[in-house]
Structure 1
């Protein structure tokens, strides 16, 4: 099936399932009004398709506004709207401009979307039994980004739940100075299928794909990043809940950990296994879901005034990839003490070097610049999404990783489990590097039979930098327990389908002694 048809079928099924399960409510849910479809006049008179529902009880109630996700529409939240209305909230869901039947063109969480959000708040206060002092904003993906940004532009937003959202769109597109190919491609496909891309969006995506006008693309993305408006968000003091997946291939978690640390509002960060929007998916269908349960409790307390202890729970709550849930007072409390693993000389017998001990010198490992290997970050949405469902990380059989195309370094097998928490960092010394290039680093858990489970990875590129002698890459944040008797293993190659690489065909990258990995261990 063609990708555009597959996407359309998926979107349609999601919408149908949302409608079919929209009657799902808790046994103790209070009566609600009927769901009503409406049209709200956004900024400049643009028509925004929307729906709303409220508690049937008289009086004013706290309200939550849901902008729909990229590629979806306001039907997305019907099931959750009914559940939340039964918990005492007015719920207004709307389709942002440029999508489906809403007017205008896609603004990608830009100034027009912020103005629209304020117009939706105006309409909500004027047309529903909403208490103006108790308004929240929430959503998944695009809706999360709009909600988080909106908390810096409209002081009426007193609480936010941003599920699978972003805080830094520049990082999301260019982390490690490397363009994220598959995720941006899927976003572009959705916009073409069910949206009306603005000339600004079309230009930004065309320039991104062609790797030109990078400064202009990054300025466009920075203007759509909550990190840019951090001071305004802190000044407005909304209560902010951020929840993402460890393996989010659209919005990797590192950007959120940095942003979270700088927030001075009431706040919580939650990270779970899975890819983009996977952790919240069953909740969209009205089924029990941990991420949505956190949203309920967050809004119950910060909008509903319920003394449920939300403010006293650990500010950082994580579900490691292969361990039970944990709570920490801060991200720095989660991040362990870094242990340095030096990269050693490659052995001729098995083409593998030692990972561990002091950094060593006197060796080199040449990597062809245009040859892929089995080592991979996977396929956007699918690989880490499946891992969240099965509980098993994506894996490769390490003997099949071609040593002529990749550098492989394996550590000695510890006698006790090692608890990796935080952001592993790779430093590679290079020799004879071209002025432009890319490498991708993968950290694996290698068992005794040769199966290597992916713990985390990340790309890094250097652009127009003659004389490059070293590169540093922060791998994507992770929480993983390396079992006793397993080997922590690093693989480095130059190609991954998730990303555009900047290597010249037929070239090479040579890694040398002095390279190392810093792994945060609890």
Structure 2
């Protein structure tokens, strides 16, 4: 039996609180069957303001549903916007709800449907400036649609993606939990998508996967978004291990248009669905549309461009741009004496004799991201992933401890790791975790990232480089930062052959370095 995604259940609970027959001022048209370019019927609903249209037409918003949800998802938000003078259409993308067709993952047909809906709106109502918005699937689709249709003036992309491959295949590692969840909850999935997922899991026809992803990813349309002048707001969550903040920060850095970036605690779509960050996500999205669609002089265009909420404490901070800081500490990795000792990382380079450490595949350790989906969601409520760092098996992992931080260490941004390794097999996998460890040995997860080497040079020292997932975290005084590396993670697909060894060489001319940005 197929399951419904957690975000879908939470959104359903919210939708149950809305009654379509309530005495709202706008006119609500509950069911519209709009014929798309190829004869497919797209199911939609519409709020029409009670007030007459302005001279240049109604400010208009097009809401696109999340994965496995439908046109009812945004009833609360749509009604609020309509009461504020907006014409608002919400629709079920093809293959979802009662819309026809199959789910092509923001493919050409889905984008053509979006254009057809805008055509319909313009032929039936006086449409002024136009905004597009959505959560998750709706966010990624809104970005691609805006790139391909210059009629869209502004976008609010919440928990979206800019690169599909980065979401499902980060550093060539299969995102098994999220990928399986997505394919199991789309009942009308295009057969071509099943083939792509099968290829991804089996590491076959990888070039075809990149070819599939590119036209469905906003990073492919930076020039178009810039040329259109689309005002782009993006909101992503630190513990979203489907659509990590990293690719969205990359998109943000490439845009030359009015832009806003919000980075929040919690996991995929939960914050946005539950009113997110004490209502900050939706309130900011509405202000974004009020300025760039409705034309209100509310000052959001002059405010700091980046809103970053600190994990666990949920303290909101604002910055002028991303990256939010140019300050960083380089920690050089130094060796451990045995499997029963932790290694160290220091601000000075390693200048000792040539030394080697090793750890092995074949088992998971206590280093990890907690219970998939559940732990990620709880983080949004200030409940971190705890790990007993002293219980991490040194045969299957290696840990590096920083010096004690005697004042609050405010990590802000994207940590990076450059590390020398000597693998015993051509295909190996590493899971890199960053922890805040207290004096009793309890660690709280700060961030992580996986990496899989598919064609490693066996028995030869080689440097791997990766970005950990973007984060915002305060390490308290008296704590240390711990880098814990093992070979398996609960979210990701394990390698078929896990009987391998990772050797870490330490040489003066081969420095392994963890770089942490901070205030």
Instruction: Please confirm whether the aligned pair reaches a TM-score higher than 0.5, indicating the same fold.
Output: yes
Relative to structure 1, the CA distance from residue 189 to residue 407 in structure 2 (aligned partners, 3 Å threshold; closer, same or farther) is same
Q: Is the 8 A contact 1:340 1:517 kept in 2?
A: yes
Aligned to 1:92: 89
> Where do residues 322-471 of structure 1 align in structure 2 (5 Å cutoff)?
322-323=312-313, 324-332=315-323, 334-348=324-338, 350-360=340-350, 362-389=354-381, 391-466=382-457, 467=460, 469-471=462-464
Q: Which moved more, 1:368-377 or 1:510-519?
A: 510-519
Aligned to 1:299: 289
Aligned to 1:178: 173
Q: What CA distance in whole angstroms lies between the structure 2 residues aligned with 1:407 and 1:438?
A: 14
Q: What CA distance in whole angstroms lies between the structure 1 residues aligned with 2:278 and 2:327?
A: 36
1:414-461 deviation digits (Å, cap 9, x = unpaired): 211111111111122112442221111100000112110000000112
Secondary structure of the residue that 1:20 maps to in structure 2? coil
Secondary structure of the residue that 1:97 maps to in structure 2? coil
Q: Is the 8 A contact 1:137 1:161 kept in 2?
A: yes
Deviation at 1:342, TM superposition (A): 1.4
1:286-308 deviation digits (Å, cap 9, x = unpaired): x9721111111000111111111
Aligned to 2:481: 488
Q: What CA distance in whole angstroms lies between the structure 1 residues aligned with 2:46 and 2:133?
A: 14
Secondary structure of the residue that 1:259 maps to in structure 2? helix
Residues matched between the structures, number: 507
> Where do residues 18-33 of structure 1 align in structure 2 (5 Å cutoff)?
18-21=15-18, 31-33=25-27
Q: Is residue 2:198 matched to residue 1:203? A: no
Cα RMSD over matched residues? 2.2
Deviation at 1:23, TM superposition (A): 7.0
Deviation at 1:152, TM superposition (A): 0.8
Q: Which moved more, 1:31-40 or 1:410-419?
A: 31-40
Aligned to 1:130: 127
Q: What CA distance in whole angstroms lies between the structure 1 residues aligned with 2:307 and 2:8?
A: 31
How does the TM-score come out when normalised to structure 1?
0.93
Secondary structure of the residue that 2:174 maps to in structure 1? coil
Aligned to 1:67: 64
Q: Is residue 2:512 matched to residue 1:519? A: no
Gaps of 5+ in 1: none
Q: What CA distance in whole angstroms lies between the structure 1 residues aligned with 2:371 and 2:121?
A: 40
Q: Is residue 2:147 matched to residue 1:152? A: yes
Secondary structure of the residue that 1:74 maps to in structure 2? coil
Deviation at 1:373, TM superposition (A): 0.4
How does the TM-score come out when normalised to structure 2?
0.93
Q: What CA distance in whole angstroms lies between the structure 1 residues aligned with 2:120 and 2:504?
A: 59
Aligned to 1:15: 12
Aligned to 2:265: 273
> 177, 185, 188: which is aligned to 1:190?
185
Relative to structure 1, the CA distance from residue 97 to residue 349 in structure 2 (aligned partners, 3 Å threshold; closer, same or farther) is closer
Deviation at 1:348, TM superposition (A): 4.2
Q: Which moved more, 1:435-444 or 1:370-379?
A: 370-379
Q: Is the 8 A contact 2:10 2:274 kept in 1?
A: no
Gaps of 5+ in 2: none
Deviation at 1:377, TM superposition (A): 2.2
Deviation at 1:22, TM superposition (A): 5.0
Q: What CA distance in whole angstroms lies between the structure 1 residues aligned with 2:25 and 2:111?
A: 32
Q: Which moved more, 1:404-413 or 1:135-144?
A: 404-413
Q: What CA distance in whole angstroms lies between the structure 1 residues aligned with 2:235 and 2:8?
A: 22
Relative to structure 1, the CA distance from residue 435 to residue 288 in structure 2 (aligned partners, 3 Å threshold; closer, same or farther) is closer
Secondary structure of the residue that 1:76 maps to in structure 2? coil
Q: Is the 8 A contact 1:162 1:242 kept in 2?
A: yes
Secondary structure of the residue that 1:157 maps to in structure 2? coil
Q: What CA distance in whole angstroms lies between the structure 2 residues aligned with 1:36 and 1:71?
A: 19
Q: Is the 8 A contact 1:283 1:289 kept in 2?
A: yes
Relative to structure 1, the CA distance from residue 261 to residue 339 in structure 2 (aligned partners, 3 Å threshold; closer, same or farther) is same
Q: Is the 8 A contact 2:329 2:347 kept in 1?
A: no
Deviation at 1:380, TM superposition (A): 3.9
Deviation at 1:13, TM superposition (A): 6.5
Aligned to 2:244: 252
